[in-house]
Amino acid sequence: QVHLVESGGGSVEAGGSLELSCAASEDAYSRYCMAWFRQAPGKEREGVARLYTSAEYTAYADSVQGRFTIWRDNYRNTLHLQMNSLEPEDTAMYYCAAASTGSCSLLTRKMAEYNTWGQGTQVTVSS
């Protein structure tokens, strides 16, 4: 069964850090692209960070560049998102996703390429 399960969300003050984890089934972890997306209340879901699993190439949304790091733990089939210097604007539900084909893009209009999603984990940053 293909699945992704996120964890690690919580509430922090601005400037704090959190690390999100996404436990993946073997099939999901072998997908060629994995990514983190987020959705704030009343807003569109947006891409945060993505990683090509074959070569570990990464990309980030401008809003998180330099503050967030995406990485994989191949021993535990887990995708991570280290989030530092958190801002209230980072408050959202964070989702892990995997794609078998496509452009491995963070663009909202390309989200349909991700065919496996987790249930999400909430991150709340207070000012």
Q: Is the pLDDT of residue 96 over 90?
A: yes
pLDDT digits (tens, 9 = 90+) for 22-33: 999 888 888 889
Mean pLDDT score across all residues of the chain: 94
Using the CB atoms, write b or e for 10-34: b if 16+ within 10 Å. Answer: eebeeeeebebbbbbeeebbebebb
- The per-residue pLDDT for 18 is 98
Q: What is the mean pLDDT of residues 41-58?
A: 91
- The per-residue pLDDT for 2 is 75
Percentage of residues in the chain with pLDDT exceeding 70? Answer: 100
Q: What is the DSSP letter of 27?
A: H
Q: Is the pLDDT of residue 55 over 80?
A: no
Whole-number Å distance between alpha carbons of 50 and 76: 18
